[in-house]
């Protein structure tokens, strides 16, 4: 899935998180990823707001600990605990970038840097939250229009500095930017660090089949224009991506263990994982465990398969996968929240949500699914 951004009024971590939640990244899944860091004393909600006539999503982060300064290593260590693993890698990369830049600016070892404006718990929520949302939406490439830079000054722990702040400019090295008639800070260090970590490609919208568009709301209000970040999903249905399928035969692994390893593989970043019943030599009933993944994830996922199953060998081959665009929305069925996945040809309620709602409401599974689909059509 392709993500295209249009930061016409700049970019911040909470604006990007709001836009991704607006595109359908499941809020609860994002919360679970943040919670997996062990972080306490925080909350994350998504509010629908009107920004100068544009309906946008605002990511609202609150924290009971409002200390603005922390050791960079503390934030990196927290982010490294996030699950699934690809979420931790992206969040750590963003925080590492901030630490390196601050180290260069103040001639200190990045490991010893104290972060000021980005040292609060909200920075962990923003970075891990954005990483989790990108993972949930299956984003594989991020493109962006030039980032708008404001002017004037910004007040920070080191006094009044020209805007953009020195750390932000360092983090944006290599990025495509454009001056804007906006006063003050339009790009935050967290937003700039996420751009660097994600590997944004600066270009016009790439050739793609355009899907949903959403807007992330910023905190500031500008007289000249709505302060929102535009984010659009797209896909290239005619192009097949090269993936790797890893598989092995197992005849001495219980069903419970197979279910566990499939869940672990999906949590670790597999695009898909499943089992097929087969009959092996001497008519032994067995299963084939399959894992579909990006080539970059093959080594880690192969290690999980071998460790969990005890298999003595494994097969792998490259496959071509064409993925159609999809998005997820949430509907309410008699007070129960149900996610609905939408593709080009059909919509399907998430089974786990339907089952939980059916149990809570005392209704048949099929009835709840039909009610959820009816809500999407209203």
Q: How many CB atoms lie within 10 A of CB 261?
A: 21
Please, is 323 exposed, middle or buried when counting C-beta atoms within 10 Å of its C-beta (0-12, 13-18, 19+)? middle
| Contact residues for 346 (Cβ-Cβ < 8 A; gap 6+) | none
User: For residues 122 and 154, what is the distance between their CA atoms, to the nearest angstrom?
Assistant: 20
pLDDT at 334: 94
The pLDDT tens digits of the residues spanning 271-330 come to: 999 999 999 988 999 999 999 998 988 999 999 999 999 999 999 999 988 777 677 888
Indicate the class that CATH gives domain 241-321. alpha beta
The pLDDT tens digits of the residues spanning 53-105 come to: 999 999 999 887 655 556 778 888 899 999 999 999 999 999 988 888 877 76
pLDDT along the chain (378 residues), means of 10: 93 96 93 93 93 94 69 85 92 90 66 53 91 92 93 66 82 91 88 92 87 92 89 76 92 94 94 95 94 92 96 93 77 92 86 96 96 84
User: For residues 118 and 353, what is the distance between their CA atoms, to the nearest angstrom?
Assistant: 36
pTM score over 0.75: no
Q: How far is CA 305 from the centre of its chain?
A: 25
pLDDT at 75: 86
Count of residues in the chain: 378
Which residues in the chain are classed under CATH 3.30.70.1380? Answer: 241-321
Dihedral of the alpha carbons of 11, 114, 131, 317, in degrees to the nearest 10: 130
Q: Which two tokens stand for residue 74?
A: 């503390």
């Amino acid at each position: 899935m392709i993500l295209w951004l249009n930061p016409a009024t700049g970019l911040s971590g909470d604006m990007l998180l709001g836009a991704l939640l607006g595109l359908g990244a499941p809020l609860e899944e994002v919360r679970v990823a943040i919670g997996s860091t062990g972080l306490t004393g925080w909350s994350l909600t998504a509010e629908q707001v009107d920004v100068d006539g544009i309906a946008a999503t605002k990511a609202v982060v609150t924290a009971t600990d409002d200390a603005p300064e922390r050791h960079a290593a503390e934030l990196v260590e927290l982010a490294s605990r996030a699950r699934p693993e690809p979420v931790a890698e992206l969040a750590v990369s963003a925080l590492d970038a901030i630490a390196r830049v601050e180290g260069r600016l103040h001639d200190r070892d990045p490991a010893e840097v104290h972060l000021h404006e980005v040292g609060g718990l909200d920075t962990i929520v923003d970075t891990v939250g954005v990483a989790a949302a990108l993972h949930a939406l299956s984003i594989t490439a991020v493109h962006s229009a030039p980032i708008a830079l404001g002017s004037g000054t910004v007040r920070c722990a080191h006094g009044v500095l020209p805007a953009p702040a020195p750390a932000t400019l360092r983090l944006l090295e290599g990025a495509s930017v454009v001056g804007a008639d906006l006063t003050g800070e339009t790009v935050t260090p967290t937003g700039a660090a996420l751009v660097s970590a994600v590997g944004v490609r600066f270009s016009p919208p790439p050739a793609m089949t355009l899907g949903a568009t959403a807007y992330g709301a910023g905190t500031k209000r500008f007289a000249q224009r709505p302060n929102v970040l535009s984010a659009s999903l797209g896909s290239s249905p005619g192009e097949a991506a090269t993936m790797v399928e890893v598989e092995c035969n197992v005849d001495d692994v219980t069903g419970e263990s197979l279910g566990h390893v499939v869940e672990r593989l999906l949590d670790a970043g597999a695009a898909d994982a499943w089992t097929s019943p087969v009959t092996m030599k001497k008519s032994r009933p067995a299963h084939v465990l399959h894992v579909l993944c990006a080539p970059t994830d093959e080594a880690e996922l192969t290690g999980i398969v071998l460790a969990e199953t005890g298999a003595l060998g494994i097969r792998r081959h490259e496959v071509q996968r064409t993925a159609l665009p999809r998005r997820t929305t949430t509907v309410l069925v008699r007070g129960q929240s149900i996610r609905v996945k939408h593709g080009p040809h059909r919509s399907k309620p998430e089974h786990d949500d339907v089952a939980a709602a059916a149990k809570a409401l005392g209704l048949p599974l099929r009835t709840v699914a039909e009610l959820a689909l009816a809500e999407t059509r209203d």
